[in-house]
Structure 1
Amino acid sequence: MTTIDELIRLVPPPTEPVDAQGDWREVEAALGLGLPTDFKTLIERYGRGQFVDLITPLTPFGAHDLLIQRAQRLLDRERSFREKHPDECPYPFHPEPGGLLEWAGTDNGDSLCWLTKGEPDGWGVVVWNPRSVAYHAYDVGAVEFLHGWLSGRITTPILPDEVEMSPWFEPFREREHVYIKLSEGESPYLDRLWILRDALAPTADRGGCRDEDGERQDHFAATDLGWSLTYETVYDHQIRVAFPPEDEERVRVTLFDAARRMGCQVLSTTTRLGEPVWT
């Protein structure tokens, strides 16, 4: 059985986890059932945030109260579909006895659930894709499932096959998002990427892709700054950056200077909604 200490060795938690502390008795009273010990420890050590920019454990603490809110909506959300397609719903839904209860979600809209049969520390995990109505059950708890998937020991058709680099956890922070569209530079793409990352060092890889036309997209984090970036030519030649609001001027100055050293001109700067900024 995988312990929280093994997960911590694989993925170091934040020194100051967000929305990690509260009264578990109140949470369990609101849900009408106890919760697994390993999940409580997971929340207390990691808090609100994401594993590998994909999996978000549902902390019940803080202003958003993710765990209880989703639990209270689950049955009502699925009732109509189940009435029309009973054969495609093999499990009951919380608060029905032994029903599925979501403990984490993914950016792809998938749900990591417990099957709440028996004692909480014996609950297994069901990975559920509501879009394709696919369910895959695993006889492990939340922490063991996370460790197994992040280390490649557990696979599921619903989640990506494997994590291609050292896994990480990013604690939640309020962030602004800006897209910086650039002119083409004379230097090769990889040289421009190196200049950009050097201006933000130290950085850590967060994945990427290359399409059939050779266009690239590279994700990375400026680890000391707490900024997340994408440099790409897939959609546009641009830098996408997410940063704490109080860093806005520093981000603007740093990235404009990096663009100049990359041999590029800044053509436009917009929010994710396409609204002009920094003009």
Structure 2
Amino acid sequence: MGTVLPADYKRLVEAYGGGLFAGMIWLLEPGCPDPMLELVAQTAEREEILAELWEAGEDKPSELQEGGVRLVPWGFAEGAGHYLYWVVRPDVEPEEWTVILNEGRGPLWEASPVSCSQFLLDVVAGTTSSFYFTGLDDIIEPEDRFRFAPNSEFHGT
């Protein structure tokens, strides 16, 4: 991928591995045998998809207007298709990367000035300010709200 990953993400993957948080957010994992959940494969795929969208005329979010900024996906929302990215800026340490969401079925973007682990915690705890993850109690079963399901539950890995 050509970059060092944030320490908080590394700790998440070391502690949990990839998998499903709160019945809704998939955490991508390096080395996962499922390419849909594998960090490096999804980085390459999302770069290609976004390049095609922007070439076709879709507007880039303002966070990407400065030179040398790139996106690296770290998760996505089950069902909705929202992708969660780090905003990777030149000369900005990985621990300072923030999250940006691209809605799954449209051109809208939502920036969150937090790390990926803080974003996940806010969603699970119900304290998120993200438009796309408020009101989860209406769509997530109560027993799933605080549950983590590792990839092995779904793929036998």
TM-score by length of 2: 0.80
* Residue type of the alignment partner of 1:36: P
The reply to whether residue 82 of structure 1 matches residue 58 of structure 2 is no
8 Å CA contact 1:155–1:162 kept in 2: the answer is no
Q: Which has the larger radius of gyration?
A: 1
The reply to whether residue 114 of structure 1 matches residue 86 of structure 2 is yes
Q: CA 1:85 to 1:159, structure 2 compared with 1: closer, same or farther past 3 Å?
A: farther
Give me the whole-angstrom Cα distance separating, in 2, the residues matched to 1:97 and 1:153. 32
Q: Which residue of 1 aligns with 2:135?
A: 161
8 Å CA contact 1:150–1:163 kept in 2: the answer is no
1:48 pairs with 13, 18, 32, which one?
Answer: 18
Q: Which residue of 2 aligns with 1:171?
A: 150
SS at match of 2:45: helix
1:63 pairs with 20, 33, 55, which one?
Answer: 33
Give me the whole-angstrom Cα distance separating, in 2, the residues matched to 1:62 and 1:130. 22
SS at match of 1:173: helix
Give me the whole-angstrom Cα distance separating, in 2, the residues matched to 1:62 and 1:82. 29
Q: Which residue of 1 aligns with 2:115?
A: 141
Q: Which residue of 1 aligns with 2:2?
A: 32
Q: Which residue of 2 aligns with 1:73?
A: 45
Q: For residues 122-148 of structure 1, what are the alpha-carbon distances to aligned partners after superposition, in whole Å with 9 as ceiling and x for unaligned?
A: 001112114121111111101111111
SS at match of 1:154: coil
* Residue type of the alignment partner of 2:68: P
Give me the whole-angstrom Cα distance separating, in 2, the residues matched to 1:147 and 1:174. 21
* Residue type of the alignment partner of 2:113: D
Aligned length: 144
8 Å CA contact 2:102–2:108 kept in 1: the answer is yes
Deviation, structure 1 residue 167? 1.2
Deviation, structure 1 residue 54? 1.0
Q: Which residue of 2 aligns with 1:223?
A: none
Q: Which residue of 2 aligns with 1:150?
A: 124
* Residue type of the alignment partner of 2:149: E
1:239-258 mapped onto 2 (5 Å cutoff): none
Give me the whole-angstrom Cα distance separating, in 2, the residues matched to 1:35 and 1:114. 10
1:120-139 mapped onto 2 (5 Å cutoff): 120-139=94-113
* Residue type of the alignment partner of 2:112: Y
RMSD over aligned Cα, in angstroms?
2.4
SS at match of 1:42: helix
Give me the whole-angstrom Cα distance separating, in 2, the residues matched to 1:157 and 1:128. 12
Q: Which has the higher contact order (CA 8 A, sep 6+)?
A: 2
Q: For residues 158-189 of structure 1, what are the alpha-carbon distances to aligned partners after superposition, in whole Å with 9 as ceiling and x for unaligned?
A: 2342346351111223659xxxxxxxxxxxxx
8 Å CA contact 1:115–1:123 kept in 2: the answer is yes
The reply to whether residue 100 of structure 1 matches residue 100 of structure 2 is no
8 Å CA contact 2:126–2:134 kept in 1: the answer is no
Q: For residues 93-143 of structure 1, what are the alpha-carbon distances to aligned partners after superposition, in whole Å with 9 as ceiling and x for unaligned?
A: xxx822111101111211111101211000011121141211111111011
TM-score by length of 1: 0.47
8 Å CA contact 2:128–2:134 kept in 1: the answer is no
The structure with the greater share of residues assigned to strand is 1
Q: Which runs of 5+ in 2 are unaligned?
A: none
